[in-house]
Amino acid sequence: MARVMFETAKLDLERSAIVAPFDGWVLAKTIEVGQHVTIGQGMGRIYSSGEMDIEVRIPVRDLKWLPAQLNGDARVAADVIFENQGARMIWNGHVTRVKAEMDDKTRTLPMIIEVDETPKSGENRSSLRLRPGMFVTVKIKGKEVKHAFVLPRHLVYQGNMVYTFEDDHLKIKSVDILRTFKDSVIVSQGLSDGDRIIKTPLSAATDGMLLRIQTEDRAQSTEDRK
């Protein structure tokens, strides 16, 4: 009887081990040593190491800037950026799939980004891993726009006007804004290669008014006199 009980105990011990079919990390455990468990009871959560998935939500207004075949064979590149207390790490990623249903409340489209295990840049790249719950910024490569100009936003005046310098005179040009960001704008039409953009604020500016460029030496002399 003792031998039977011993063999039964060894069998029970073997059956009590939990082995994941992959290498991973334990996120949470809900049982303790000596606790009785029942069939179907949750005992914890783990996630696989290696490549990770990140779900991002794209606003409807930005969908037009994304490639048409996001669910196709083409790999749409994405940078995953983590910043904390001056540290900055960047991982390579790509769009793996786009969910079919749009979020009705936020009017955004869920998109899944697959991220490489190790970062491509940053200090201590081998020691830092992406973990669930970390806040990251995802930059997805969108459509390629040719022959466009990026300007600081404050250089585009009301009515989408840009001040340029041409033959010692002010030339006010009307431009088409392709996209507006917080600090910059993308101009698709209205400017040409070699245009000289005026950055100095001008009061009562009129098209054709006479201008003079202030050189750096003259500006430094004026500053010294002050």
> Which pLDDT tens digit goes with each residue over 40-72?
888 888 887 777 889 999 888 888 888 766 655
CA atoms within 13 A on the CB side of 83: 5
Tell which wins on pLDDT, 189 or 101: 189
Joined tokens for residue 80: 């995953």
| Model confidence band, residue 151 (pLDDT cutoffs 50, 70, 90) | very high
Tell which wins on pLDDT, 51 or 208: 208
| Model confidence band, residue 126 (pLDDT cutoffs 50, 70, 90) | low
CA atoms within 13 A on the CB side of 7: 3
Is the pLDDT confidence value at 218 over 90?
A: no
Residue 117's nearest CA partner among 43, 23, 196, 182 is: 23
Domains, the chain, ordered by start:
52-140 (2.40.30), 149-215 (2.40.420)
**Rounded to the nearest 5 degrees, what angle is found at the Cα of 158, between the Cα atoms of 155 and 160?**
70
Radius of gyration of the chain (CA): 30
Is the pLDDT confidence value at 196 over 60?
A: yes
Query: Average pLDDT in the 139-161 region?
Result: 90
Query: Average pLDDT in the 162-166 region?
Result: 93
175 forms beta bridges with none
Query: Average pLDDT in the 149-165 region?
Result: 93
| Model confidence band, residue 138 (pLDDT cutoffs 50, 70, 90) | very high
Which residues, 6+ apart, have CB-to-CB distance to 203 below 8 Å?
none
Query: Average pLDDT in the 19-36 region?
Result: 84
User: To the nearest whole percent, how much of the chain has pLDDT over 90?
Assistant: 26
